[in-house]
Structure 1
């Protein structure tokens, strides 16, 4: 068990890792009372050594860790990396790379739709994870021996998981299959919350351009303010309050104070003043600058029987290829293919080889699905048989 609490210890630990092929990384953080995730503990393991780094230790400077994470020569291995990467993106103002996500790789290697770390550690590393410390308060000090042991297990067994998945990918030649999923994790936009777009996830009771303009302004105000004072957006102002303000467009403190659950103290304070200013800005916008609700997604009329056949085909082909079906095609793509759409990711690249080509042949009558015992199988339909059917 190794817990690092000083800058010198951290520098000594990170220095040799700069020359390793890969490191495994995990974090423990809290964000129940803050807008931004609060890093409490960072766990890092090299091929031989591992340590838990106390990010809350008095006087510690995490610069050696930041430098290691930004080192382009060292592969950073995570499991389900999205939230961990958000923390490092905030610290570094860049996405640490290069990256490898074992959850993504596990889907390509046939270990299920969203394999948990525990299941992979059990299956590939023959390890049993003690989950009792998972939901403890990682901001409290001192950390217990059980907490540190649990935290380190998230990176020590990950080394074995990574090495075995890498060998499977090397053997199958499927490294390129995970590139598309990894591209999302490597994109800095994945971790940026644009205040100007915050209104789009809300569902107003109306759709008039003026109402949407007010909603956009007050939602952006809430997002910027929550970020600035570092509190959860819902603690600053709940969604239903935001929608009510956009709907009634209050002009005065008295009108704002009538918002359910808001309170006169809030309305009379700086928050109330800024909210009314936001409403006034939206009210002053010319008609040409008012936002419009995005058009609803195209209504796909997919024959249910065809979708069912494609779903069965997807399951069959995914099992044969040893890859998670969700990585090959999602429900929306099946609907689009069944409706005759062909500009679909599942019909391109490696997905076409695994599933897409057969999906088109099935729809166009060149393949049939049949049962063989308890299993489905594909039966090619000769061209002359197609002609007879058409006749």
Structure 2
């Protein structure tokens, strides 16, 4: 039996965030059973969990660490940059979620040394549940997936973290000031969000997370003219990830003949900076992408094709240049294909052959793909749903382009 590849936690908590009263799930599974589970004979169900579970997640994560001196001032730029990313396979993932339905508490871990991600969070306080539209909202950089830009339903948000001696400046940028200039300040907040199981698919769904960490210090420097200048340095570490999770189908339940088409949601986190050669600007900003995925499968030939169609959200600005090429509400498209290999891969795997972005107004940005991956699996009775993760890495010299995400789908 294959390992359960996906996110345990989200499957079972339905936090407040656009899904109404919270429960383990709000829609009963369709007929045909509960899916393959983890091969232990457990009767755990995806929409309405009854037992504590630890799931492995499939998807991708990335991180970006850098410094900004005097953020918000003219000429402020990102320096000391370190970017890392990694896509997990179905059977090779250290990303886990542990959920206990008895107490509605779960622990998530998105620690991945290859991606530079270290987020681990325990969501136990009912106040960790949050949503858009009130006095308290998810932190800056969290995608409002139920907004007009993305148009999704049943999205739940959980958030925890801490801050010390910093206050964020008014406006739409990730910049902090020290409350006590004689002491350093810090902020470290993790937000986890997911679609309520049963909203669209019964045995698999998608989730994402972000962690925004900032350290702020003030220092004095001596100028050549004998005067002294005060510098405020902010060190940011941003983490992002997107995953699919659910109840895996048993390998012997997956069809060996015929074809199938699966429709569902896609989510991605992206960095896109093609400006270093043209503008000499290495400032890089995270953006979310959300939309639809179509997975076409030929079970007899053991092949599949994946098509992604998403809208791009606004960049996460930080008091630097704001120079970027992909505008809010741009369209993202990508097509890929590959093989089904239940024995070696535990599902299906492949690559992308094309990807591009169309900005509002019609400007097209084609991505020169240096590397890519698609990793997925079948879920539910007879493999009636699919889910997985993907990555697209740009290959043009002097560009930082990386798109990492997840997709799910239900058979038509």
Larger fraction in strand? 2
Structure with higher helix content: 1
> Higher Cα Rg: structure 1 or 2?
1
* Common fold: TM-score over 0.5: no
Which structure has the higher relative contact order (CA within 8 Å, separation 6+)? 2
Q: Normalising by the residue count of structure 1, what TM-score does the alignment of the two structures yield?
A: 0.22
